[in-house]
Amino acid sequence: MLLTADIGNTNIKFGIFDKSDLIRTLTISCSKAKTADEYGVELYSLIRVMGIHREDFSGCIISSVVPLVTTRIDEAVRDLLGVEPLIVGPGVKTGLNIRIDDPSILGADLVCACVAANNISPAPLIVISMGTATVWCVIDKNGSMIGCPIAPGVSVSLEALTNNTALLQGVSFTAPKSVIGKNTDKSIRAGVIWGTVCMIDGMIDKIEKELGEKCSVIATGGLSKTIIRYCEHDIEIKENLILEGLRIIYERNKKSQKD
């Protein structure tokens, strides 16, 4: 089995693959305060509940946007599973042509998402990642990643609004029927949810106009199910896109080592 780990700013999402089949996902909170031992205990507890043993794993691959936590997960996996994790970064074969000013600055999670998207949909492509930030990765007709506009994520925007306004309380992520809010709660939800929907649809229109081509569109991330269903464009939701990209990258590097 293969253990994949997507380390984000808020959560760490693990995927367990049996060959090409994703058989289980596990999510724990991401904290710089946790030690490698603490991460190891959490991961061990989760896999034991599933009836999986450390001997069942033959490899591990990690993508991360939090370097400090990367080190601790790497150590935890080595101690727990006895395998050396492959960490997505310079020197790792991804098969993705990145045509931006400095390819090294592209987040490993976005690289994985683009690799998986290229594997399941025809280019040109727009891959929307909805997490702490909302990112539109643009893949041209040749399968090359050529850029990515970035905006604050939905939860970040909502948290900033409610935390910095004394009279506003926490609100839910459900869209009101009307975009014209008639009370505080509905007004905030209309602005945040419907505003994000309009932004996503509008950015797709702008990207397609600039490319001069219609694009396949794939969305991933924790809030994609909440927001994308309200969009006017035909957008496919792939909740585990990054984990799938990690599996593909791992297999490419394993094959490269054999060759």
- Return the structure tokens found at 206: 């702008």
Residue type, 189: R
CA–CA distances in Å: residue 228 to residues 61, 209, 212, 214, 236: 29, 21, 23, 18, 9
Per annotation, catalytic residue among 21, 109, 185, 259: 109
> Quick one: 38 exposed, middle or buried, by C-beta within 10 A (0-12, 13-18, 19+)?
middle
User: Would residue 109 show up in a list of annotated catalytic residues for this protein?
Assistant: yes
Distance CA 96, CA 55 (A): 32
Distance of CA 29 to the CA centre of its chain: 15
Q: What is the largest CA-CA distance in the chain?
A: 65
Please calculate the CA angle 52-81-251 and round it to the nearest 5 degrees.
Answer: 90
Distance CA 39, CA 31 (A): 10
Q: Where are the alpha helices (DSSP H) in the chain?
A: 36-49, 67-81, 108-120, 154-163, 184-189, 195-211, 224-228, 241-258
Per residue in 55-68, is it b (16+ CB within 10 Å) or e — as a string?
eebebbbbbbbbee
Residues marked as catalytic: 109
